[in-house]
Amino acid sequence: MKHVFIGLATLLCGFLGLSQAARAQGSYVDDALLYSRQNPAGTARTLGLGGASASLGGDYGSMTTNPAGLGLYTKSEFTFTPGVGIGNATTSMVANAASLNSGGGQQSANSFNIASIGLVFTNRRADNDASSAWRGGSFAIGFTRLADFNYGYRYRNYTDDNHSFYQFLREPGGYPQSSVLSSGYQNTLIDIDNQYTSGTYTNLDGLAYGSFVTGQLPYTKDANGNPTSYQVSINYPRSGQIQQDGVVQSKGALSQFDLGYGGNYRDRLYIGGGVGIVSVNRTLTSTFGESQNGTENFHYDDYLKTTGTGINARLGIIVRPADAIRIGVSAQTPTYISLTDSYQTTFTSNPSYVVGQGSNVLSTTPGTYDYSVTLPFRANGGLTFLFSKYGFITGDVEYVNTAATRFNPNSNDNTSSFSDVNQTISSGYQNTVNLKVGAEGRFDIFRVRLGYARYGNPYAGGTLDRGQNYFTGGLGFRTKSFFLDAAEVYLGSSKDQYAPYSLYSAASPIASINANRATTTVTAGFLF
């Protein structure tokens, strides 16, 4: 879900509109968490166990956690895991000067996805073959959906003009009204006027000016009365209560294609490694508008599509000191991803106060921006206790250094810098420890599973706990050549906050978000 650091990222957001200049602050900070905080992933068996797979092995779900688990296979296998996600978010407005009356909203986000596809080729020596201490191994290739970007929320707020989006437009480029005489403020106004003159718009400030929502008035004059500086003026005088409505919708996923191998030494030590090719595909749309007495003043639509490809690698071992105990550890390198943003903003206004001027619809020139992100190192440790043919209990501890996420401009880009973004990430996020535990009961060919995962709060400081709780369960049955598993993963109440814009001069509206999501997956497996 999109997160906003109240007091951190929101103060860095600058002006709206999805150009790189606008995204270079708050929303990149949000993306650092979006990409590094992964969901429970893998087959329905792994999901039913809360995602715990660092020491269990023998299931394709361990591929992205600990590839040493491939060494426990005794047969080749093909698995296919489709899934359906159902999400819901309820919002309410935080009580502050920017919210005159209570508001809120509700939004759903549903999706169909492929959670996992795996093909494992196993070559194992016969039990009576003592020619080598290496008992064999397995090579695997497959696909796993690591993070789900499907979410949405809707909000409604009531405010006054001093806390409205019009006040935001009085602060062009993120400059407060008090800095009207600064060169940065004046250069921003020159840029806005140039956008109008050329008919080529690059941000919302330009779109509002071109739509006659804003204007520019002289602020100072020389001795002859000629203007020497300007300030933004709002052409639409408003008083009384203003209604604000917004919708944010995100779709997509972070997925990984894997190649891995796991070997088996004396059925006591299992060693494995893997390489992951990461794919990012995400579409984010947001709509925001203001109205009075049922008449819309304006609304804008932001569109952002992010795509990219990256790579990582991981190594792991599983030790079986006794038949009933398995201990696993693994580590994954930082993940490097090359990304491209495609963006556009459309602004619709109805400036009826301008004689002869009807409804306006203007859009920024479609643009793209290339950059990269390096996601943090990850480490896993796990312990499994087996109870003969009756089942097992397994648990994982995962460490993720979220604060180490780093953005960088394209190597050919000499004009952009992510230093402020990266500094905000370092100070605003912290190391995260994720706990996962699961149990399986076996009843002849049938299986019953329960699991729980606690993903730690990645934010440093603050009073809002943004940790996540996953409750999981599953059923399955298994024969010598086929198995079928089903799992349900429920993400409990996940709390967040969102600010549609940030003001220097006054409090901004803040939506408090309470979201939950349920995902159902089914794995069909064929042994050969």
In angstroms, how far is CA 493 from the centroid of its own chain?
17
Check: CB of residue 341 under 8 Å from CB of residue 372: no
Tracing tokens 């290739």 back to the chain, one arrives at 141
Is 232 domain-assigned?
no
Rounded Cα–Cα distance for residues 302 and 321 (Å): 57
Is 181 domain-assigned?
no
> In this model, does residue 132 exceed pLDDT 50?
yes
Is 77 domain-assigned?
yes
More confident site: 43 or 1: 43
Phi, psi of 52, rounded to the nearest 5 degrees: -70, 120
Is 349 domain-assigned?
yes
> In this model, does residue 138 exceed pLDDT 60?
yes
State which residues form the domain around 339: 10-164+238-527
Instruction: Output the pLDDT for position 296.
Output: 78
The pLDDT tens digits for 292-320 are: 887 778 899 999 999 999 999 999 999 99
DSSP letter for 468, please: E
Is 217 domain-assigned?
no
Residue 222 pLDDT level (bands cut at 50, 70, 90): confident
Residue 315, domain CATH: 2.40.160.60
Instruction: Output the pLDDT for position 436.
Output: 98
Work out the angle between the directed axes of helices 419-428 and 26-36 (0-180°, nearest 10): 60
Number of domains within the chain:
1
The pLDDT tens digits for 385-440 are: 999 999 999 999 999 999 999 999 987 776 667 998 999 999 999 999 999 999 99
Is 169 domain-assigned?
no
Is 243 domain-assigned?
yes
Please compute the mean of the pLDDT values over residues 107-123 and round it to a whole number: 93
Instruction: Output the pLDDT for position 57.
Output: 95
Is 1 domain-assigned?
no
Instruction: Output the pLDDT for position 174.
Output: 79
Q: How far is CA 358 from CA 48, 206, 210, 352, 361, in A?
A: 58, 18, 13, 6, 10
pTM over 0.85: yes
